[in-house]
A = this chain, B = another copy of it.
Amino acid sequence: MKKNIYDDPVFFNKYSQMERSIKGLEGAGEWTTLESMLPDFSGKRVLDLGCGFGWHCQYAVERGATSVVGVDISERMLAVAKEKTSEEIVYVHEPIETVNIAQSSFDVVISSLAFHYIEPFEGVLGRIYSWLVGGGDLVFSVEHPIFTSEGIQDWCYDTNGNIRHFPVDNYFYEGRRETRFLGERVLKYHKTLTTYLNSLIQVGFEITGVVEPQPSESMLELDASLRNELRRPMVLVVSTRKR
């Protein structure tokens, strides 16, 4: 299986100490937005693509999902997920790009910040479409195309080290970006907004919501540095329904 950064022990340990890893969903800035766009889980079969530590799977169980499957490429992440979350969740150690799932198996597919690690998007979407029943929901978050476009994913600073602005470059050149995250080299695949949204429409999804999360007033009060996140869009959350 393809090597992935989340199985690198150094990276994994650093990632495990992030607020979103310790606090779970409440530690993720975009969670309030994502949660507001999720469908009712009650009585639903739910698939989580790129489930990581299984926080979203656990949430689905607690909201009444009848069965929950989490797919992730990282063995280390899944080991923690199995230990910390409900026993009824089924974790599958496979890449999103190649995992084999029978048609019409799920009512809801969710994916949190995983699709920007995947190169071929339209193919994956077509497969997700087949896994969903008619009227089923796909809700996902990704790093915003503006955030992945230039490559380095850092602000542009003035000579005093103050933020000047966020740089956009290479926008229409989709594909591989090498960035640094937690001090390690991480590969991502930039896609334009056109690719994300128009692929959904082409495959047959109806777009039911498009939101760029921003820090809430209460988050800004707790951490003033988050105010910088009002200066650029970092995450895109999209909700869709299979026709």
Contact = CB atoms under 8 A, between A and B. Distances in A.
Interface residues of A, number: 32
Interface string A23-65: 0000000000000000000000000000000000000000000
Contacts of A104: none
Contact of A230 (B172, B210, B232): B172
Q: Interface SS of chain A: helix, strand, loop or mixed? A: mixed
Nearest to A215: B172
A230 B198 contact: no
A187 interface: no
B214 A209 contact: no
A197 interface: yes
Nearest to A234: B171
B165 A156 contact: yes
Nearest to A238: B197
A230 B165 contact: no
Contacts of A197: 197, 207, 210
A170 B212 CA distance: 14
Contacts of A172: 212, 214, 230-231, 233
Contacts of A209: 198, 201
4 closest cross-chain pairs (CB), A and B: A165-B167, A165-B169, A197-B210, A172-B230
Given A165-B168, A198-B211, A201-B207, 20 more contacts: A156-B156, A156-B165, A156-B167, A164-B167, A166-B168, A167-B167, A167-B168, A168-B168, A169-B231, A171-B230, A171-B231, A172-B231, A192-B212, A193-B193, A193-B210, A193-B212, A197-B197, A197-B207, A197-B210, A198-B209
17 contacts: A150-B165, A164-B169, A165-B167, A165-B169, A166-B167, A168-B168, A168-B231, A171-B230, A171-B233, A172-B214, A172-B233, A173-B230, A193-B210, A193-B233, A197-B197, A198-B211, A201-B209
